[in-house]
Structure 1
Amino acid sequence: MQPPLKRCFFYNLRQMPYTDAHIWQRSLLAERIQDPSLDDVLILLEHPPVYTLGQGATPEFLKFDLDTSNFEVHRVERGGEVTYHCPGQVVGYPILNLQRYRKDLHWYLRQLEEVIIRVLAGYGLIGDRLTGFTGVWLEGRKVAAIGIKVSRWITMHGFALNVCPDMTGFQHIVPCGIADKPVASLAEWIPGISCDEVRSQIARAFAEVFDVDLIEVAR
């Protein structure tokens, strides 16, 4: 007899300011550190334009002056270098207790990549991993960035998939600190693609890869 699937609450949201989502993630993480029996969570949303730097990120990958620009910039506790979020990019924040899965951060990163690779495969596209890097590429161009934070084996932060964003915001940074590998969006391969349809594909792939029962809830 198959064991029951793990439950994972699913918030499928529209736009949310980055700071609001960050506070929410930290609250969910703290609750689960306090009570590890709480169910896992997957949040999918979009952000207004914002740049984020990982905790050890190098400011030299910014092509603007932090003190004089009008850009919204936040340094947060995830790994990785600078990245850009904006409407048209689906951001996923899994709050998972890895003790239910595998206590292995490399495994977890590869699973997040696998979610995106399966989404791309559904559109007849072959997503690639590049040795030594984290994320997913299409024909040598990066379409998904991944950066995580794990505390007591509970995850926060996650992945960002460029679906149909205005890509000009990426021109102000060296995305993920990788100067020789350009970024791209799915719209360049699939004109007319929308975040709404991709969200449902991400949810389906996530449930398959992590073997969970997604329970959609409103916030």
Structure 2
Amino acid sequence: MRSLSRPCWLYSPGLVPYDVAWQWQRSLVADRRQHPDHHDVLLLLQHPPVYTLGQGASMEFVKAELQQQGVPLVRIERGGEVTYHCPGQLVGYPILNLQHHTPDLHWYLRQLEEVIIQAIAPLGLEGHRIEGLTGVWVEGRKVAAIGIKVSRWITMHGFALNICPDLHGFQHIVPCGITDRPVGSLAEWLPDIQYSLVEQQVKQAFSQIFHVELWPTDTLPLLPVPLPPA
């Protein structure tokens, strides 16, 4: 096993509007295109309620009543179908140069799944994969969604782990376009679960899986990168 020698900035700012975090990601990716040797970054945060659609996502998985909810619906450049973010869900955005890891998209997706599986194992929860699908399930309920964008081997977007969110927002969509497998949260098995504890376990698992040393920071060097049209 390699030593945990590659540095990775860790930024955990709490609750962040989706468009702000999206801008951060685009800025960090643009910087690493210009400077491929700059350190990796892991953003760990929460979002106010928001729905996001992957680049090629179909509106057939968005139910009509969503228009009356007043919750933003944003089309972004990741893969995958529609999903929902809200407080109580831990969202992770790794900005990694896979040239410094393993330049393989399938490997990267499986590693993100493994981070979640290892993070929840100490809680007594057994996360598993489902062949042909991306994400992590516990007892048949999907607790973590994954959607990524990789350009020139630099990653953005990432994973969303349902720790203790209000799941009602998922009722207005067909999450990830999967009709026969319900969404779940860790709080369904562990009602007294502590968000901060799970966040810490995700940090530890990420560090081990990707062989990085996380360096907490209160600031990020950001470039002015305009958002694309929604």
State the alpha-carbon separation in 1 of the partners of residues 120 and 3 from structure 2: 29
Please give the secondary structure, in 2, of the residue aligned with 1:80: coil
| Contact persistence 2:9–2:41 (CA under 8 A) | yes
Q: Mind listing any 5+ residue stretches in structure 2 that lack a counterpart?
A: 220-230
**Alignment-derived partner of residue 217 in structure 2:** 217
Q: CA deviation at 1:65?
A: 5.8
Corresponding letter in the other structure for 1:204: Q
Do structure 1's residue 53 and structure 2's residue 38 form an aligned pair? Answer: no
Tell me, yes or no, if the aligned pair for 2:3 and 2:211 is still in contact at 8 Å: no
Q: CA deviation at 1:193?
A: 1.0
Aligned length: 218
Pairwise mapping of residues 13-92 of structure 1 onto structure 2 (< 5 A)?
Answer: 13-64=13-64, 70-92=70-92
AA matched with 1:88: G
SS at match of 2:33: helix
Change (3 A) 1:89 1:66: closer
With structure 1 as the length reference, what TM-score do the two structures score? 0.97
TM-score normalised according to structure 2 size: 0.92
Task: Say if 1:67 and 1:88 are closer, same or farther in 2 by CA, change over 3 A.
Answer: closer
> Aligned-pair distance for 1:64?
2.4
Counterpart residue type for residue 27 of structure 2: S
1:191 Cα offset (Å): 1.0
1:105 pairs with 2:105 = yes
Looking at structure 1, the residues matched to 4 and 73 of structure 2 have their Cα atoms a distance apart, in angstroms, of 42
1:152-194 CA-partner distances (Å, limit 9, x unpaired):
0000000000000001000000000001000000000111112
Q: Deviations over 1:102-124 (max 9, x none)?
A: 11000000000000000111111
Does 2:192 align with 1:189? no
Q: Distance in 2 between matches of 1:184 and 1:204?
A: 23
Q: Look up the match of 1:142.
A: 142
C-alpha distance 35-190 of structure 1, shift in aligned 2 (>3 A): same
Query: For 2:177 and 2:30, how far apart are their aligned partners in 1?
Result: 30
User: How far off is 1:13 after superposition?
Assistant: 1.9
Q: Which amino acid aligns with 1:31?
A: D
The answer to which of 59-68 and 42-51 deviates more is 59-68
Displaced runs of 4 or more, over 4 A:
65-69
AA in 1 matched with 2:110: R
Give 3-state SS (helix, strand or coil) of 2:200's partner: helix
* % same residue: 62
**How much does 1:7 deviate?**
0.3
Helix, strand or coil for the counterpart of 2:64? Answer: coil
